[in-house]
Structure 1
Amino acid sequence: MIDLIEPLKVAVIENVAYGVQEVNEKLFGGFCDCGGRMLQKFWLNLEEMRILFSECEKCWKNHAYLFNSTKFLKREEVRLVGRGEILDYLKNFLTELELEALLSKAQSKIYKPQDLARAKKKLSDMNLPFEEIVSLLK
């Protein structure tokens, strides 16, 4: 499954984050399982693959459509992570102490520097922007 962290405009694929490009126009992006029309939301260009993220106008479900240079490969469901869900999402990757240090940093409270350093390293390894995450947690 692909995770889309909407406030950061990044897609997380196999625990690595990639920046996505927003589609500013209402362009057709496929059909949903519910019968609704999907609209293009973001594009992601990887080395040998392009991924289209579309959202249903009817049920708001998100899907990713994977293409290689010449053809459609497959469709995957996307887990959308909003601003209010970022903390729960980070629980999948950070320990309780690292999360606590990250929250304390965001709220200008006292924290253990070694715990924050470990959290920062893990986020960096995932290619997630540390400062932007801290500002989301404020």
Structure 2
Amino acid sequence: MFTKAFILMVVLGVVMATPSDIYSAPRHPTGYREEPKPYNFNYGVKDDYAGTDFSQNEESDGNTVQGSYTVQLPDGRKQTVTYVADDYGGYRAEVEYYGEAQYPHEYGPPITFRPQAYGQPSYQPPVPSYQ
């Protein structure tokens, strides 16, 4: 009887000692703040064969991030997004379009050809022979 009462007291003590909301516990020690790390980068890709044309540049002073990216849209226009992001204002973007949308009269997959190395004959698929 004494053993059951002792076990009940231990279990009750453990239950009372756990926080009521385990998800509200802080993930970092109080006052933890990572030092700002400034950076900047940019890249661009332009592939006339595949029709790919996009680029991005971005820089940060450790507190505010600002940059822009440009994408060639399938309808022929170029879209440029210029943005600024920080802890107080969040993500703020301005979107601009250049050019006029072009819509073809015929729809379907684009017709592309594999590039050939200089001096090599073009690829000829084998002709099936039926008997």
TM-score w.r.t. structure 2 length?
0.26
Richer in helix (by share): 1
TM-score w.r.t. structure 1 length?
0.25
